[in-house]
Amino acid sequence: MLRRIAISCLFAALPLSAAARTRPHYGGTLRVEIAGDAWQKGGLARRLVFDGLTKFATGGAVQPALAIEWQSENNNHRWQFRLRPSVHFQDGSPLTTTDVVTSLRASCAANCPWASVHALAYSVVFTSDSPMPNLPQLLAEDEFLITGRVAAEGNASHGPVGTGAFQVSGFSNGVLALAASDTCWEGRPFVDAVEIRVHREVRDQWLDLSMGRADLVEVPAEEMRIAQQQRLNVVSLPDAELLALEAGESGAWSNQNLRSAIALSIDRAALANVIFQKQGQAAGSLLPQSLSGYAFLFSAERELNRAHELRGGLSAPPLTLAAEGAGAMQLAAQRIALNLREAGFNVQVTGSPNADLKLRALPILGNAPAPALEVLLRAAGQPQTVSADNPAALYKTERDILERETLIPLLHLPRAWASSARVRDLKLRADDSPDLADASLEVAP
């Protein structure tokens, strides 16, 4: 299975496919529509306006961004990242190591993967009591994007300021306007502007795409088949997310047999085939096969009898289950509740953030399995350093995590976008966001 590569799925033989390939044109406004918020964690605008010290290349490898090089010392307890010179924020102020340190400290407060971060001449130095083998990959995450002074100090009257390819130029009528930054260290993007219409229902996004009112819209995994039937031009990234169930360890759930019974009760194949319309892969592992190569060792089969056995005479307390997100996530929660009831659990689907079980979509980032696992665990709120440097050690680490049954993998899901025919060279980055800075628009005939 291909992974970490943005695959352009031309579902239909579009006329453009036969056209000559010319260099990308400068100019034009790219119109994007999304269902969520542009500035939320992982939001599209954050990736366009801000940069990290490192970034994921299209293939998933970590690359220099605001840092041009780095080195670790003392068995990965100390890392030094040298800052790229002559980088400026969009307001014209130079990027300094102090800016970077301030931004990083604000990003994770007391929950950082390092113990301290400080500036040292042209470098930023991270130290920790425990090794940080995957710090370059962690720093490519959305969480550690470097925001400018204005945004870092909470005064967003002029919009957030970063060093990215686009700068905020306005927000009105639900449309966030971004303008190309001529001074971007990576070069000016090809399009002049990006307009992001936020909080737009997916069906409205698709309507706007078909009417020529949008250039880029979201395609949820469960809608990819419909997109195919409608001959949309889809760019997708397989194995972009892990759908997983988080289970607590406190109270009655401290009994691991109960948690194991829950894991064995869920019919993952039905989730993949029915709810996600055969676009997901049933998962018994945290990392997908395409990343680890050993995922097949973890069974994703439903074993209802075994679940009953494990539950035995234990009287499980009433369970609450909450799903993060809407649409298919809510349907999936209902389906899981049904499965659990079949195993003898008393389950109620709720919207409460304090539910016993939480259905979440966790990011799978990069092409290196150990850092990807660490990022995933961090996103799940179960941070753990993953220092395995070979597949056997990584398998053991993952097996130990799974045996705790506090994070129950269900499906590996793709992420996808659909674009209009005038969008060229659109790729998805390894963090699943469309790379709009390197995309361009066809010249109108």
Residues lying near another protein in the complex (CB under 8 A) are found at 1-5, 8, 17-26, 54, 57-64, 69-71, 86, 136, 182-190, 289-294, 296-297, 367, 369, 390-392, 395, 437-438, 443
Q: Which is nearer to another protein, 81 or 114 (CB)?
A: 81
| Distance of closest approach, residue 334 Cβ to another protein, in angstroms | 33
**How far apart are CB 445 and another protein at their closest, in Å?**
9
Minimum gap (Å) between residue 165 Cβ and another protein: 8
Q: Which is nearer to another protein, 97 or 292 (CB)?
A: 292
Q: For the CB of residue 108, give the shortest distance to another protein in the complex, in Å.
A: 21
Nearer to another protein, 173 or 390 (CB): 390
Q: Least distance (Å) from another protein to the CB of residue 289?
A: 7
Return the number of the residue (11 or 26) whose C-beta is nearest another protein.
Answer: 26
50 or 395: CB nearest another protein: 395
**Phi, then psi, of 117 in degrees rounded to 5:** -135, 135
Decide whether 17 or 254 has the Cβ nearer to another protein: 17
- Closest CB 371 distance from another protein, rounded Å: 11
Smallest gap from residue 238 Cβ to another protein (A): 10
Name the residue nearer to another protein (CB basis): 111 or 122: 122
Question: CA of 17: how far to CAs of 153, 239, 279, 356, in Å?
Answer: 48, 27, 25, 50
